[in-house]
A and B are shown apart, each in its own frame.
Chain A
Amino acid sequence: MSAQNIATFATILFSMILVNNYVLVQFLGICPFLGVSKKLDSSVGMGMAVIVVMLIATAVTFPIQIFLLDAFDLGYMQTIIFILVIAVLVQLIEITLKRYIPALYSALGVYLPLITTNCCVLGVTILAVQDYSGDIATHGFGFAFAEALVCAAGAGIGFLLAMVLFCGVRQRVENADPPESFKGLPITLVSAAITSLSFMGFGGLVENIINAIL
């Protein structure tokens, strides 16, 4: 693998984690972000489950898009077919885990089925197709597929990072005794907005850093 390729993959990975963070910059997957970030262990569990599901979902939907939808001119069926495939996948992962790795199954617990209908999982599969299917013509399918997988991994790690960071913020906020009218969801949304604002500062940062290093 050439230095050029490493730079490409590193750029994709870190820009997915920091610059294009799915939760804090692209505002996908806000529901688990607000719902499950009350406790550290549950937010880590959710983050881990999302990483696994995003990777596997992208690995399955990317070839489906290229070899089924694009090949037969069915691009308009993308959303419904991706939802179908992701739902089946998550169920399959759940059944498999329950049978072979019960420890992991009980650790992920209720978060695994929750992801079935999660917008950020659907988002990463669709955006990966949008961004990297163009590279098939220039670099071949293998390279584009690898790019999509790195993008999914970065999105998952970014989700985990956002969850853990925001969990810390939220615990501090809840102990700070906010005014009565701000208690609960209002102060949570305000602090989510400020956390998101801090991630906007990463814009344009990653590409320059990696270009400087390599």
Chain B
Amino acid sequence: MITANPIVFAVIVLAVLGLAGSVILVLASKFMAVYEDPRIAEINECLAGANCGGCGYAGCADYAKAIVMDGAPTHKCAPGGDKTADAINRIMGAEESDRPSLRAFVSCNGGKNCGVRFEYHGIQSCAAAAAVAGGPTACSFGCLGFGDCVNACMFHALSIRDGVAVVDREMCTGCTACTRACPRGLLKMKPIASQPAVLCRNKERGAAVVKACKTGCIACGICVKNCPQEAIFLHNNVARIDYTKCNGCGTCVEKCPKKVIHWVEGGPTSVDAPVPEHAVL
């Protein structure tokens, strides 16, 4: 029979082998099944799926697991935003948690305003450049402009403009990947609100700052004296804004002689506008 019809025999052999394999696999998956909470898969569906790691876990699947198994907070998915948090809360039957909606912001205004200490021809990355003799920029606190944050951003929200990183706050999802990429820690998370911010982190004294950068904070204290809310103070030779007191009047933005204080977004708010609670930084 075998020699009589080899085609039929071959088909039978293959079919039997395939069937045997599938039976073995079905049995194996039945008897060796590992129980997995179905909510993990459901939550995984809700998450943004960008695997950006902004939640602090290895990826979306890892975060979904952490929510179900370890009771991790449900609002950590920044790209997914409120919609995702609501969906997860529905699956988990949890109450709404407070959700800070923060966006990245670059605390440096240097770029082409900042001098050059030496010409750098090494590896074209901020991390590498910052490691060479304090970095090629005259200011050892400012943006290096090689775009480590641009590469870290999965949402194309960052770009280098005039030698300094700029965040497109419409595109930013608040995943915080860039804050970890910047070797100088210039990227901060700031709430979506109209408020002023000091675009300098130079801790040196005024004279040294003037030599390094045209738009560095020289700690002259004019903003401190002029702020009607007494919300500004000097710390390590840099002006800092206490956002619990700031009402967004914009006096500091106008008065700053070096034009270091800028609006994070928008313009001055009316003096009566309440400050959002999560604006405390």
Contacts and interface: CB of A to CB of B under 8 A. Distances in A.
Nearest to A69: B13
A85 B32 CA distance: 20
Contacts of A74: 9-10, 13
B25 A73 contact: no
Given A72-B2, A84-B18, A95 B32 contact: yes
Nearest to A92: B28
A contact face: mostly helix, strand, loop, or mixed: helix
Given A77-B10, A77-B13, A177-B124, A84 B29 contact: no
Contacts of B21: 84-85, 87-88
A91 interface: yes
Given A85-B21, A98-B34, A68 B13 contact: yes
Interface residues of B, number: 20
B6 interface: yes
Interface in B1-51: 2, 6, 9-10, 13-14, 17-18, 21-22, 24-25, 28-29, 32-34
A117 interface: no
Contact of B28 (A72, A95, A175): A95
A interface, how many residues as a size bin?
A: 20 to 34
B13 A99 contact: no
8 closest cross-chain pairs (CB), A and B: A88-B21, A99-B32, A95-B28, A95-B32, A177-B123, A98-B34, A91-B25, A92-B28
Interface of B: 2, 6, 9-10, 13-14, 17-18, 21-22, 24-25, 28-29, 32-34, 122-124
Given A77-B10, A92-B28, 14 more contacts: A72-B2, A73-B2, A77-B13, A84-B14, A84-B18, A85-B21, A87-B21, A88-B21, A95-B28, A95-B29, A95-B32, A98-B34, A100-B32, A102-B34
